[in-house]
Chains A and B, each alone.
Chain A
Amino acid sequence: MEVPILKQGGYLIATIQAALSDADLIKLQDALVEQVGKYRSKGVIIDVTALDVMDSFATRTLRSIAHMIKLRGAETVICGIQPEVAFAMVQLGLTLEGISTALDLEEGLALLNKRTREREAARGR
């Protein structure tokens, strides 16, 4: 199942809509890393609200995506992790250290706005 990527202003929004196989995740990674350059996006939001499991592979892939996007000059926010999923992740020993997280899409957008403003202010100096 392919993950739709929506271009909204300077941001890309990827909304995961169902449980993903490893191959789907890798496809998402390729698509995001490519499009972030193509559209010169400043930020990427990955909405994982629909994911009922985040295992080590999914977490590692999301982490890689965030790092690659950083190398492409944009910010990533992962939003919508469910309480049960967060609980399972920390039990498993998985974290998303160094990656921004937000409660939901709305919060994710607010966070990205704040981040990009800060970045622009820093560059302006």
Chain B
Amino acid sequence: MHYSTSGLESARRHVGDEVRVVIESDSDIVLAREHGRLIGKKLGFSATDLTLIATAISEVARNILVFAKNGEIVIREINEHGRTGIQIMAKDNGPGIPDIALAMQEGYSTGKGLGMGLPGSRRLMDEFQVISSVADGTIVEMKKWVNKNG
């Protein structure tokens, strides 16, 4: 697509086969989802799946920005039971989510009228879980498998 790769290289730290993107400003959201696309493409996801993955990353990254101000997105390839997939972790040390069940409800929102973020991204991915405590902040973990049922 239409983005420069120079920015991608500089903001990226490789640890094995994973990419970490620090989320501090709204332009980092764009960076994170472009990395998601790149890795997803390498793993063989379809064009539609790549868009779903990029959109889900966008949502969780914005959640970080809105609720915790900063955090990071970790994207990596995963292999389990002969399947290949992509795992996305969104971590922050923000205030945490006091009631996860409530946050996962459709239309629930405490931020700036978003409310689609978490429940929406869950629909875009195959697996989704939120670990959050008021003391330690929030981790959102999402997975999507390549070619699930063809």
Contact = CB atoms under 8 A, between A and B. Distances in A.
Direct contact of A and B (CB under 8 A): yes
Interface of A: 17-23, 50, 52-57, 60, 82-85, 87-89, 91-94
* In the complex, the 10 A-B pairs of residues with the closest C-beta atoms, listed nearest first: A22-B26, A55-B58, A18-B2, A84-B51, A92-B120, A56-B116, A88-B55, A21-B27, A21-B26, A84-B48
Nearest to B46: A84
Main secondary structure of the interface of B (DSSP, over half): helix
Interface of B: 1-3, 25-27, 29-30, 33-34, 37, 47-48, 50-52, 54-55, 58-59, 62, 106, 113-117, 119-121, 123-124
B3 A18 contact: yes
Contact of A21 (B29, B51, B119, B124): B29
B124 A91 contact: yes
A57 B114 contact: yes
B51 A52 contact: yes
Nearest to B66: A57
A94 to B, nearest CB: 7
A87 B51 CA distance: 9
Nearest to B59: A55
Most A C-beta atoms less than 10 A away, residue of B37, B58, B119:
B58
6 contacts: A19-B30, A21-B26, A52-B1, A91-B124, A93-B106, A93-B116
A19 B2 contact: yes
A92 B55 contact: yes
B46 to A, nearest CB: 9
Contact of B30 (A21, A60, A83, A84): A21
B26 A93 contact: no
Contact of A52 (B29, B54, B62, B123): B54
Contacts of A53: 33, 51, 54-55, 58
A30 B117 CA distance: 25
